[in-house]
Structure 1
């Protein structure tokens, strides 16, 4: 049995377990991971993700906003391919434009609505990319099950029909693999090659947040986002 260094993140460890990684050599050195380029291979056409607005879309997202945003609330997922994960409790990344909205409401359900989870995320006025991990007390995602997730920008304390909604689709899959390293970028590259977008991006984002001046990590972040049409968002700050 290999003992994983305690400095590895819970996200990293949980993804290793979910993917059933079989190591063929000892832990890779951290310096080696910095040289790994990551690319995303879309799995299939999938279901399109979309944005919706209750009623007629206003110039501003909220009545108290001073102007309309250049980029709307956007989950960082591909538009035209399935959004896949191996995780029972995946991590989502979403861009927030400048807004006076008080809350961001995350919802997750399956088509039959036998699964339903919702959580309110309090906003502090910051603009940038935030991450949201499905809490451990939420029901785990089932393998080969499709889910609909959404982010609703609540201008007031509760959701109203006119609030902006971004919605998308996600599916949990399984992978079993033998790889020769378990550093973050090696694992992110493996996910990218297999079309597992959410897990790939969560790992790159984590590396980018902790090592913002690392050129290879920054290039990987920009490359994968540009590959799915999110080049504008790639320049936005990652918030802790």
Structure 2
């Protein structure tokens, strides 16, 4: 089901949005291999001006949505009251913890808007008859390309009740990274790529790269430990043990 523009409008206040400042990589920073790591992966947030608004948690039970142990959660950092992060991808992936089965009884909806409040992308998520709950992924299609240095807003809603959905919202900005950092990432192994992204404030690639590793190797204890460490660094430890939902 589609959510009307009129319903979405109160969720946004573009006047609150200000540019995200990307921190430059220190030119003399040594390249570190996985074997030399002495600490676990942690996210270092980029410098922010006046923080953009947002809502990372969807709240408790509303309307027809049943009570849940953990709330609907956008897996993004909250920095100085602002919910969102940076990406280097044309079509980044967004990750959410959904405490409800998205089957015939309810669906979820993802909406992306540009800085002029125009719809860029909208999709509905339903997992057939599955009762599975957990972490789900939304990836932008090839027809949607984020523009460099432009701030976008997204909303993710669970439609238990069409007039009163549970929702999270935040922002994303595409940036171009320093050539030195880009080279290090290209030459690094997967876990080291996650570390480099995280230490340089690139949340969406840090999360997606690690999530893909975790789903590919669900029994790998080292990857599971780094997953928990990354989520702990942005105060999302409570969903770290949640399964991934196809």
Would you call these one fold, judging by a TM-score over 0.5? yes
Q: Greater RCO between the two (CA within 8 Å, min separation 6)?
A: 1
Closer/same/farther in 2, CA of residues 203 and 152 from structure 1, 3 Å limit: same
Question: How far apart in 2 are the matches of 1:236 and 1:192?
Answer: 21
Question: How far apart in 2 are the matches of 1:151 and 1:222?
Answer: 23
Distance apart, 1:161 and its partner CA: 2.2
2:111 and 2:119 in contact (8 A); partners too: no
Task: Report SS of the residue matched to 2:235.
Answer: coil
Corresponding residue number in structure 1 for 2:68:
69
Distance apart, 1:206 and its partner CA: 0.6
1:104 and 1:151 in contact (8 A); partners too: yes
Which 5+ residue runs of structure 1 have no aligned equivalent?
1-31
Distance apart, 1:44 and its partner CA: 2.3
Task: Report SS of the residue matched to 2:237.
Answer: coil
The partner residue of 1:141 within 141, 146, 151 is 146
1:75 and 1:93 in contact (8 A); partners too: yes
Which 5+ residue runs of structure 2 have no aligned equivalent?
1-32
TM-score using structure 1 length: 0.74
Q: Deviation string for 1:132-175 (max 9, x for gaps)?
A: 111112x200000101001111126xxx2211111111111111
Distance apart, 1:213 and its partner CA: 1.7
- The runs of at least 4 aligned residues of structure 1 exceeding 4 Å deviation read 32-37
TM-score using structure 2 length: 0.73
Question: How far apart in 2 are the matches of 1:51 and 1:222?
Answer: 18
Question: How far apart in 1 are the matches of 2:191 and 2:240?
Answer: 18
Is 1:212 the counterpart of 2:203? The answer is no
Aligned residues: 199
Question: How far apart in 2 are the matches of 1:195 and 1:169?
Answer: 14
Q: Deviation string for 1:79-111 (max 9, x for gaps)?
A: 125411000100111001035652110000012
Closer/same/farther in 2, CA of residues 215 and 35 from structure 1, 3 Å limit: farther
Question: How far apart in 2 are the matches of 1:86 and 1:225?
Answer: 20
Corresponding residue number in structure 1 for 2:198:
192
Question: How far apart in 2 are the matches of 1:98 and 1:133?
Answer: 20
* Pairwise CA RMSD: 2.4
